[in-house]
Amino acid sequence: MATQYKRILLKLSGESLMGDNGFGIEPDMLVHYANEIKAILDLGVEVAIVIGGGNIYRGLQAEKTGIEKVQGDYMGMLATVINGLALQSAMETIGIYTRLMSAIPMDKIAEPYIRRRAVRHLQKGRVIIFAAGTGNPYFTTDSAAALRANEINADVILKGTRVDGIYTADPEKDPTATKYDKVSFSEVIKNELNIMDMTAFTMCQENDMPIVVFDINEPANLVKIVKGEPIGTLVNV
């Protein structure tokens, strides 16, 4: 079956793994994501994933602990490795071949990130989980997603969130907020629509990398997007 996207990068927040909990990993969420990913793999789509670490680290409130910024950022990177291992296990349980690739060398549990090797894994039908962000402090996992998506020549970044797209205001706070079906990069900047950090967003804009913001918790949304259905909000030129 023809799909609109052949190679995608899926960006998941660490918080998305919490479910209804205040922190940590909810097993049901891992199962949900694994099944959603398998559904698009079965259509022949190549899948890479970047996952955040906010469910593990952000709750520590670094400022109040006295942990310096750079040290805290490295702790956040390690949290993404924990989440990556958990997601890898969930996917392998249902027969998905995976590779965890880390921007920080830790050869006992993950491959080092090497671009050519990553592309080869994708070509062989393996799902890649990119962990440890960019390997550098001061860069978010949004930036890691933008960087890796461009490096592997992904067709699109699919940013999974708790809401079904981009709104004129926060729909959880403003009941009059309306949803965009499509929006340009320049409109996002002009209207200060907060969808990812500006470093990541600018990288996507400069390299014409489209972004789809969608509700990852709604079953079958991933399949609908790769088939070309207008799910969520599309950001492009």
Contacts of 31 (CB under 8 A, 6+ apart): 90
Please determine, for residue 117, whether its predicted confidence score (pLDDT) is greater than 90: yes
Q: How far apart are the first and last CA of the chain?
A: 27
Chain segment 204-234, per-residue pLDDT in tens: 999 999 999 999 999 999 999 999 999 999 9
Residue ranges per structural domain of the chain: 7-236
What is the distance of C-alpha 209 from the center of its chain? 14
Q: How many CB atoms lie under 10 A from the CB of residue 108? A: 4
CATH class of the structural domain 7-236 = alpha beta
Q: DSSP labels for 110-176?
A: SEEP-HHHHHHHHHTTPEEEEESTTSSTT--HHHHHHHHHHHTT-SEEEEEESSSSEESS-TTT-TT
DSSP 8-state symbol, 18? S
Residue range 29-55: mean pLDDT, rounded: 96
pTM, 2 dp: 0.94
Mean pLDDT, the chain, rounded, equals 93
